[in-house]
Chain A
Amino acid sequence: MLTGKIALVTGASRGIGKAIALDLVANGAVVIGTATSESGAQAITDYIAAAGGKGKGMALNVIDPEQIASVMSAMTAEFGAPTILVNNAGITRDNLLMRMKDDEWDDIIQTNLSSVYRMSKACVRGMMKAKQGRIINIASVVGVMGNAGQTNYAAAKAGIIGFAKSLAREVGSRGITVNTVAPGFIDTDMTRNLPDEQRVALTQQIPLSRLGAPEDIAKAVTFLASDGGAYITGQTINVNGGMVMV
Chain B
Amino acid sequence: MSSIEDRVKKIVVEQLGVEEAQVTSDASFIDDLGADSLDTVELVMALEEEFDCEIPDEEAEKIATLAQAVAYINANME
Instruction: Tell me the A residues contacting B by CB distance below 8 Å.
Output: 125, 128-129, 170-171, 173-174
Q: Does B42 make an interface contact (CB < 8 A)?
A: yes
> Which size class do B's interface residues fall under?
under 10
- State whether the Cβ of B38 lies closer than 8 Å to any Cβ in chain A: yes
Q: Can you name 7 extra interface pairs (CB under 8 A) apart from A128-B42, A128-B45, A171-B38?
A: A125-B45, A128-B41, A129-B45, A170-B38, A173-B38, A174-B38, A174-B42
Give the Cβ gap from B31 to chain A, nearest Cβ, in Å. Answer: 19
Question: In the complex the two chains form, what is the Cα distance from A174 to B41 in whole Å?
Answer: 12
7 contacts between A and B (CB under 8 A): A125-B45, A128-B41, A128-B45, A129-B45, A170-B38, A171-B38, A174-B42
Interface residues of B (CB under 8 A from A): 38, 41-42, 45
How many A-B pairs fall under 8 Å by CB? 10
For residue B37, give the distance in angstroms from its CB to the closest CB of chain A. 9
Residues of B within 8 A of A129 (CB): 45
**Chain B residues with CB below 8 A from A174, complex form:** 38, 42
Complex contacts, A171 vs chain B, CB 8 Å = 38
The distance from the CB of A77 to the nearest CB of chain B, in whole angstroms, is 16
The 3 closest A-B pairs by CB, nearest first: A128-B42, A170-B38, A125-B45
Chain B residues near A125: list those with CB within 8 A. Answer: 45
Output the nearest chain B residue to A128 by Cβ-Cβ distance: B42
Residues in chain A near residue B41, CB distance under 8 A = 128
Chain A residues near B38 (CB-CB < 8 A)? 170-171, 173-174
B61 to A: closest C-beta gap in Å: 16
| CB-nearest residue of chain A to B37 | A170
A173 to B38, CA, bound (A): 9
In whole angstroms, how far apart are the Cα atoms of A129 and B41 in the complex? 11
Minimum distance in angstroms from A219 CB to a CB of chain B: 32
- Shortest distance in angstroms between A123's beta carbon and chain B's nearest beta carbon? 14
CB-CB under 8 A from A128, the residues of chain B are 41-42, 45
